[in-house]
């Protein structure tokens, strides 16, 4: 008799643990693309005179969980200005108009494709600092390749996937596709407007889950 | 040191004189049954027995091509491409190697003025050229630096008659006027003088209407050349002076205009002493200066000014010993000094010098075989010494077939730009600095707090940039079944190490990069070249050539094999990993090249010459950001260009009419050096 009761208890335990009603509901991974995120800047090198004035202007901030541009000073994950990309984590480099970091976002650049990067390598994540951004600036260093004169084209380097921890500790990955408005087939630096990001991203909305 | 070497040389002279006292040798008196070539060995050789891959372009072919400059005549050769660089210079690509890796000589003396590496061939007029010798594969064992892909030597004409006069005038599209005068005379049997004058002017052309400048701005070019020869039994003196002036005015708009002036001057003397038919001693001296100034002015002030002023002095002593009728031993020692002053340089005046020693043995064994061993040591004040050996063998298998095999090491020392450049792009703000200047420039910028990020460590600034080195291999086969057919096949491979390229060394606070030069890459070029000529009938000659070329960066090959390279088909699609066969190779290289030439002559001095060249597709840039040229990038379409000319000789006059690029192929974006169809007429007077 005792044995039977034990069995029933065990059985009910097993049954209850298998029951869908009690399981934590996992949210679906968000897989989206965003077109023409405009990231203007002021200053830089004047193409006419060659004079350099310090770069300034608001960064365009993006929030993965809403999938939208935001002006919030705290609830943003990543922000863009010209070719510079910053995250909401770490320290400010101290450029003009650079927002202060309020969250715990971080980033690294993985080699691969959106399909092949399936696991976040936590060791590789780094944050912005007073000596440089986590995504290095300059062509060939970070997310893009600069093709010099005479074409002066900025192409997102294929095979570079930006893997993020969001400001509130979730994970996302991004592939930048184009730096020119409406992602033209063969961009022309002289006629196509630049500083318009088009990118694919996947957002893992579930706390603590590091794969996609 | 030099005295010691001289003493050694003299000792050798004595030794070989004793050893071979009974044997006779005189290259000049050898019965020359066929064409001779000097550039391959620095001794006179019969082309037919030479164990190295070589080609001669005869005077007849030069005249037939109606070229105004060297670019056009070289472009007609199989495996040679004329490639424009961004500065508008047209350089030569041979065995898949860039212009920087081919040495260009006039009568054995090198041309200078490689402002951005490319040696512009448009400035060489060919009206006084007797023949062009082309040696493919490394010749650094004789010539030292730059002779990696080969050597192109232009031999100028020497007076053959007491008095000769030749003049030609060619008028062609874009108001291009080409006028040449050639005067030759022999005085007292021994003194030969030649004077050559050329004037070439053109309105230039514009392929892209809505940009600021013309594709080729109007120009005037003047060449003057005087040569003098003296011969007697023992002594030969050869001396020449060459001058060149080029003037180009251009206008960007009503307020902004400029000009570009090139001045070139060279002078050489060569004294040869031949003693009792066995020994020959030659002393060469050469000086050349190349100057280019460009000014861009806005109404009242100078907007931009650039200058480039390069000089080269070279001297060389060669002793050639005839060990018997055919075998020859050559010793040489040489010195060269190069100076450069140019804008955007860390140091206003830079110089370098080098001494070299070379030895070469040309041997003939059995009835059918000959070989060459040679080596050269270059000691340089800026780089480590370079040793360049070469070995070549030719053997005749039967009356119709012979094979040749050669190996050689080649090198190219870093040019001044790679050492001392100090350039900042005014539009986008990046900088390029030379290796030797990098340490000081970076530390100055650090003091000014201009450096955001130092990417390489400070130790990497120490030491020297190394010369680029190559190993070249050629395997050739000649098949000549009869006097009407000749087929040459050559397999080649060049493996280049320590290729100098730029990489990012720091980023500036403006977010832009600073680049400097390093020994970075390894590349190879390999392929197959076929040249064949057929005498179809007595009055019909047909020639066809083909080159297959595979030119790749070894590191890119490895990176692709390791799955580290990705591509993207369009900016709307995700990237993917590329396969080995997606890698196309180096920029501006076509895999296939075919040339054909047909000449039909009639008895009454009437001639038709029709030639075509085909170039398969090639890529000029990486469009998808992975830094290599892959099948997903954009390519320049394959094309065929055909030229036709018709000429008629009446007594001392030859009248020619013709059209280059008869079918008017053009691709303004990718082929700025192709103006489209050109129509011309020409008259030659020879007395």
Alpha helix segments (H runs only) across chain A: 2-18
A49 inside domain: yes
pLDDT for B347: 84
Q: Enumerate the β-bridge partners of residue B411.
A: B469
Residues of chain B with Cβ-Cβ distance to A47 below 8 Å are 427-428
Determine how many CB atoms are found less than 10 A away from the CB of residue B338. Answer: 18
Degrees, nearest 5: CA angle B241-B243-B244: 155
* DSSP H/E element including B274: strand B256-275
Complex prediction ipTM: 0.79
Is residue A17 in a domain? no
The reply to whether A18 falls in a domain is: no
Residues of B in contact with A44 (CB under 8 A): 429, 510-511
Q: B417 is written with which tokens? A: 């730009």
Report the distance separating Cα B628 and Cα B615, nearest Å. 21
CB pairs A-B closer than 8 Å? 128
pTM of the model: 0.86
Pair B254, B215: CB distance under 8 Å = no
Question: Would the CB atoms of A113 and B627 count as touching at under 8 Å?
Answer: no
pLDDT of residue B278: 86
Q: Which residues of B touch A (CB under 8 A)?
A: 86, 424-430, 452-453, 455, 504, 507, 509-513, 564-568, 570-577, 621-627, 634
β strands within B538-651, DSSP E: 540-553, 566-567, 576-577, 592-602, 606-615, 639-650
Distance between CA atoms of residues B89 and B131, nearest Å: 23
Of B86, B430, B626, the CB nearest to A159: B626
- Cβ contacts of A37 within 8 Å, gap of 6 or more: A60, A62, A69, A80, A196, A197, A198, A199
Q: Looking at chain A, which residue has its C-alpha nearest residue B633?
A: A186
Q: What's the structural domain count of chain A?
A: 1
Within chain A, which residues score under 50 in pLDDT? 1-6, 8-21
Q: Which residue of B has its CA nearest to A140?
A: B504
The whole-number pLDDT of residue A149 equals 65
**Mind listing the pLDDT tens digit for each residue in A73-127?**
999 999 999 999 999 999 998 888 999 999 999 999 999 999 999 999 999 999 9
In this prediction, residue B450 carries a pLDDT of: 83
B468 neighbors B499 (Cβ within 8 angstroms): yes
Mean pLDDT of B120-147: 93
Preferred mutation among B88, B452, B511, B560 to probe A, highest tally of A CBs within 10 A: B511
Cα angle B228, B230, B234; round to 5: 150
- Structural domain span for residue A138: 26-204
Q: Which residues contact B207 (CB under 8 A, 6 or more apart)?
A: B215, B666, B668, B672, B675, B676
| pLDDT tens readout for residues B367-396 | 899 999 999 999 998 888 999 999 999 999
For B230-272, write each residue's pLDDT tens digit. 998 899 999 999 999 999 988 877 788 888 999 999 999 999 9
Asked if residue A119 belongs to a domain, the reply is yes
Model pLDDT, residue A70? 93
Say if A8 falls within a structural domain: no
Structure tokens at B441: 């420039």
Q: Has residue A209 been placed in a domain?
A: no
The answer as to whether A102 is a domain residue is: yes
Cα-only R_g, chain B: 26
Residue A158 lies in a domain: yes
Of B512, B566, B571, the CB nearest to A159: B566
Closest alpha carbon to B488 in B468, B507, B474, B502: B474
CA distance B220 to B204: 10
Per-residue confidence (pLDDT) for residue B684, from 0 to 100: 94
- Over residues B467-510, the pLDDT tens digits come to 999 999 999 999 999 989 999 999 999 999 999 988 888 888 77
pLDDT digits (tens, 9 = 90+) for B280-320: 999 999 999 999 999 888 877 767 788 999 999 999 999 99
Beta strands of B343-467 (E only): which ranges? 350-365, 369-380, 386-396, 401-412, 422-424, 431-433, 451-454
């Amino acid at each position: 008799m005792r044995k039977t009761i034990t069995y029933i208890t065990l059985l009910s335990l097993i049954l209850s643990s298998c029951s869908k009603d009690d399981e934590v509901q996992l949210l679906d991974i968000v897989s989206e693309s965003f077109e023409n995120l405009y990231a203007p800047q002021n200053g830089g090198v004047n193409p006419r005179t060659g004079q350099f004035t310090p770069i300034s202007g608001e960064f365009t901030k993006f929030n993965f969980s809403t999938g939208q541009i935001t002006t919030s000073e705290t609830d943003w994950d990543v922000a863009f200005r010209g070719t510079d990309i910053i995250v909401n984590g770490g320290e400010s480099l101290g450029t003009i108009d650079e927002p202060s970091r309020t969250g715990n976002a971080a980033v690294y650049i993985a080699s691969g494709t959106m399909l092949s990067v399936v696991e976040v390598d936590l060791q590789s994540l780094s944050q912005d600092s007073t000596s440089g951004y986590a995504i290095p600036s300059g062509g060939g260093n970070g997310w893009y390749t600069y093709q010099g004169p005479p074409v002066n084209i900025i192409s997102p380097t294929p095979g570079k996937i930006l893997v993020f921890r969001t400001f509130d500790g979730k994970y996302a990955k991004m592939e930048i596709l184009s730096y020119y408005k409406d992602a033209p087939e063969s961009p022309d630096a002289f006629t196509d407007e630049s500083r318009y990001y088009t990118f694919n991203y996947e957002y893992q909305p579930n706390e603590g889950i590091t794969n996609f | 040191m030099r005295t010691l070497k001289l003493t050694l040389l003299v000792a050798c002279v004595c030794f070989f004189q004793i050893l071979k006292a009974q044997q006779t040798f005189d290259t000049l008196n050898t019965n020359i049954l066929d064409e001779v070539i000097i550039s391959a060995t620095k001794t006179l050789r019969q082309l037919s027995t030479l164990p190295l891959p070589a080609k001669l372009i005869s005077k007849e072919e030069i005249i037939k091509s109606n070229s105004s400059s060297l670019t056009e005549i070289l472009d007609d050769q199989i495996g040679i491409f004329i490639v424009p660089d961004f500065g508008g210079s047209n350089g030569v690509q041979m065995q898949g190697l860039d212009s920087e890796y081919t040495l260009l000589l006039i009568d054995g003396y090198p041309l200078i003025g490689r402002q951005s590496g490319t040696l512009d061939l448009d400035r060489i007029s060919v009206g006084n050229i007797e023949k062009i010798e082309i040696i493919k594969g490394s010749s650094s064992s004789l010539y030292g630096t730059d002779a990696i892909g080969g050597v192109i030597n232009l031999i100028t004409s020497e007076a053959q008659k007491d008095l000769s006069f030749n003049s030609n005038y060619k008028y062609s599209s874009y108001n291009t006027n080409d006028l040449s005068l050639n005067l030759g005379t022999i005085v007292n049997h021994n003194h030969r003088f030649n004077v050559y004058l050329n004037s070439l002017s053109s309105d230039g052309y514009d392929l892209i209407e809505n940009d600021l400048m013309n594709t080729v701005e109007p120009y005037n070019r003047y060449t003057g050349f005087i040569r003098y020869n003296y011969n007697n039994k023992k002594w030969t003196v050869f001396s020449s002076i060459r001058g060149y002036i080029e003037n180009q005015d251009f206008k960007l708009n009503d307020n902004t205009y400029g000009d570009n002036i090139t001045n070139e001057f060279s002078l050489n003397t060569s004294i040869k002493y031949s003693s009792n038919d066995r020994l020959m001693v030659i002393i060469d001296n050469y000086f050349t200066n190349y100057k280019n100034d460009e000014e861009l002015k806005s109404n009242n002030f100078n907007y931009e000014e650039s200058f480039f002023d390069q000089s080269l002095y070279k001297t060389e002593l060669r002793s050639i010993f005839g060990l018997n009728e055919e075998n020859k031993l050559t010793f040489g020692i040489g010195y060269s000094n190069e100076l450069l002053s140019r804008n955007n340089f860390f140091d206003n005046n830079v110089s370098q010098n080098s001494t070299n020693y070379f030895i070469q043995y040309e041997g003939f064994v059995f009835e059918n075989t000959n070989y060459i061993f040679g080596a050269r040591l270059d000691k340089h004040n800026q780089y480590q010494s370079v040793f360049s050996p070469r070995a070549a063998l030719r053997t005749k298998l039967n009356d119709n077939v012979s094979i040749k095999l050669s190996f050689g090491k080649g090198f190219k020392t870093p040019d001044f730009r790679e050492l001392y450049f100090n350039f900042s792009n005014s539009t986008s703000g990046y900088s390029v600095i030379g290796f030797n200047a990098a340490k000081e420039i970076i530390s100055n910028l650090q003091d000014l707090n201009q450096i955001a990020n130092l990417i390489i460590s400070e130790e990497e600034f120490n030491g020297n940039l190394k010369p680029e080195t190559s190993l070249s291999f050629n395997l050739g086969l000649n098949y000549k079944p009869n006097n009407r057919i000749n087929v040459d096949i050559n397999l080649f491979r060049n493996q280049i190490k320590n290729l100098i390229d730029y990489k990012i060394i720091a980023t500036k606070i403006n977010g832009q990069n600073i680049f400097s030069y390093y020994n970075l890459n390894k590349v190879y070029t390999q392929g197959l070249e076929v040249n064949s000529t057929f005498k179809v009938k007595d009055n019909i000659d047909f020639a066809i050539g083909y080159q297959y070329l595979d030119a790749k960066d070894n590191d890119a090959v490895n990176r692709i094999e390791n799955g580290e390279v990705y591509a993207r088909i369009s900016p709307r699609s995700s990237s993917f990993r590329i396969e080995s066969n997606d890698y196309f190779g180096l920029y501006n290289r076509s895999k296939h090249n075919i040339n054909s030439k047909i000449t039909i002559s009639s008895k009454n001095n009437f001639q038709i010459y029709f030639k075509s060249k085909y170039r398969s597709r090639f890529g000029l840039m990486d469009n998808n950001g992975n830094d290599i040229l892959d099948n997903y990038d954009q390519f320049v379409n394959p094309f065929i260009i055909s030229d036709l000319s018709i000429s008629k000789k009446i007594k001392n006059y030859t009248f020619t009419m013709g059209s280059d690029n008869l079918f008017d192929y053009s691709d303004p974006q990718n082929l700025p050096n192709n103006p489209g169809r050109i129509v011309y007429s020409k008259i030659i007077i020879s007395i």
